[in-house]
Structure 1
Amino acid sequence: MNEHVNADPAELAKFSELAHRWWDLESEFRPLHEINPLRLAWIDGIAPVADRRVLDVGCGGGILADSMARSGADVLGIDLADKALKVAQLHALEASTSGVKYREVSVEVLAAEQPASFDVVTCMEMLEHVPQPASVVKACADLVKPGGWVFFSTINRNAKAFMLAILGAEYVLGMLPRGTHEYQKFIKPSELAAHCRSAGLDLRHTRGLEHNPLTRRYWLSADTSVNYMFATRKPG
């Protein structure tokens, strides 16, 4: 891995090994499939994606990218895990999803190539897996057009998040493979807000994502103590 690429080789290898399971609804990626309708509805309610050029950063196997394309967006999904991208491309072919393309490229490189090119940028469940999240936020800001929206989701860093997102989800309930997350890489909302301000993005909306492990029900709320999302806008 090029030392200038903002990615952890171990993280890429981890997700590449699981790549063939991205679209298995009973696999480790089941939670992403279950929360995807909530995420998509929240994004679309703030910045309707139909007929818009959308970038999905850290798209993995394409769960969100595919659903945004089906909502009428022209979507580019990018990732550095090549096996996951191949799965995403294969799924798009099998599902006949038009309007979505995938590319193996870092967000920083794409920002240098195509500044201010997208109406909407999404970066979901990705910041907690990279060495320099501020660099990703800055690149996302550079990629969106003036007046466009950038959405982030990640995990708060506190005792509650450690208990639920790591001990609970990975070790007790087995919802995720052990080692999926590293506590020290979690990001407090205040830290992400600072990254956004430094990148020239205005924070407009926040939302928490909650979960009942017994009923497997997810819902959005004002509680950002564990999983949370930001909707930011680049000044016009």
Structure 2
Amino acid sequence: MSNVDEGEIRRFSALASRWWDPRGEMAALHHINPARVRYIERVAGGLRGKRALDVGCGAGILTEALAAKGASALGIDMAEASLEIGRLHGLESGVKADYRCIAAEALAAEMPGAFDLVCCLEMLEHVPDPASVIRAVATLVKPGGDVVFSTINRNPKAYALAIVGAELVAGLIPRGTHDYAKFIKPSELETWSREAGLTAVELRGLRYNPLLKSATVGDDIDVNYLLHCRKPA
């Protein structure tokens, strides 16, 4: 529980009822999710039959998408209100995914090496100690398994686009969603992953186009980016 920002929990809990509204405050998350899922499916060598964990799942946009692709998916988060919305949406959609209100560190102590795939997307920049989450993720994935992180780079361009542009000018995401000081450079993420026993496989950028309401995975890691790691067998 020490690695929880209560302000962040309150902020995301307040958005819970609107999480699945594709035209609401979380619209950008809906727009980027297909690109994220395609990337995850590719690097994991397919999702069908895989046991997958979504760390910091919110109301389950990614968790449910992994389940729809055939994975046995568990989403964990510390905002119970968001998880309840995820459960309700699963009943409506007919896509079965499981949800638990538990920290990654606590689940790691309970279920080490239990997952073929662990995803931790847009979450590390919202906790006091991201390296602690990364260590937990490394414990949770089985040897030979895959890990996918995504977060936001820390540089002037990222500040201009992710905070000034997306939050203050365009209103693409709610104001106060991000704290620039918590943004993470790729070198930092790779170092923490390596120290946790993971091997970095691929670093890719995620570019969002608000006009087309879509995202693409490419070479530009200046703002949003993904890191695929693997736990040595």
TM-score when scaled to structure 2? 0.98
Contact kept? 1:121, 1:149, Cα under 8 Å = yes
Hey, what's the Cα distance between the residues in 1 that align with 2:98 and 2:215?
29
> What residue in structure 1 maps to residue 133 of structure 2?
136
Answer yes or no: is the 8 Å Cα contact 1:121–1:140 preserved in 2. yes
What does 1:56-95 align with in structure 2 at a 5 Å threshold? 56-95=54-93
For the 8 Å contact 2:32–2:208, the answer to whether it is kept is no
* SS at 2:171 equivalent: coil
2:222 aligns with 225
Give the whole-Å Cα distance in 1 for the aligned partners of 2:14 and 2:214.
28
User: 1-side partners of 2:220 and 2:199: how far apart?
Assistant: 20
SS in 1 for 2:228: strand
- Distance in structure 2 (CA, Å) of the matches to 1:111 and 1:217: 34
Which of 51, 61, 71 pairs up with 1:53?
Answer: 51
Aligned residue for 1:6, secondary structure, equals coil
Query: How many equivalent residue pairs?
Result: 232
In the alignment, structure 1 residue 36 sits paired with structure 2 residue 42: no
Amino acid in structure 2 at the alignment position of 1:164 = L
Tell me the equivalent position of 1:106.
103
Tell me the distance in 2 between the aligned counterparts of 1:224 and 1:9.
Answer: 29
The alignment-based identity, stated in percent, is 53
1:181-202 deviation line (CA, Å, top 9, x unaligned): 0000000000000000100000
Map 1:197-212 to 2 at 5 A.
197-212=194-209
Structure 1, 16-25 or 213-222: larger mean CA deviation:
213-222
1:96 — aligned with what? Answer: 94
Query: Could you tell me how far apart the structure 2 residues matched to 1:165 and 1:186 are?
Result: 10
SS in 1 for 2:116: strand
How far did 1:219 drift?
Answer: 1.4
1: CA distance between counterparts of 2:229 and 2:208? Answer: 24
Q: Which ranges of structure 1 fall in alignment gaps of 5 or more residues? A: none
Displacement after TM superposition at 1:94 (Å): 1.0
Give the gaps of 5 or more residues in structure 2: none
Q: Which consecutive segments of 4 or more residues in structure 1 shift more than 4 A?
A: none
Alpha-carbon distance between aligned partners in 1 of 2:209 and 2:68, rounded to the nearest angstrom: 28
User: What's the secondary structure of 1:225's corresponding residue?
Assistant: coil
Give the match's secondary structure for 2:32: helix
Greater relative CO, 1 or 2 (CA 8 Å, sep 6+): 2
Shift of 1:222: 0.6
* TM-score (normalizing by structure 1): 0.97
Per-residue CA distance 1:142-180 (angstroms, 9 max, x = gap): 000000001000000000000000000001100011100
**Letter paired with 1:162:** Y
Q: Distance in 1 between matches of 2:220 and 2:4?
A: 29
Amino acid at match of 1:81: A
Alpha-carbon distance in structure 2 between the residues aligned to 1:35 and 1:109 = 29
Contact residue 50 and residue 71 of structure 1 kept, 8 A: yes
| Structure-2 separation of matches of 1:223 and 1:125 | 17
Q: Which amino acid aligns with 1:125?
A: E
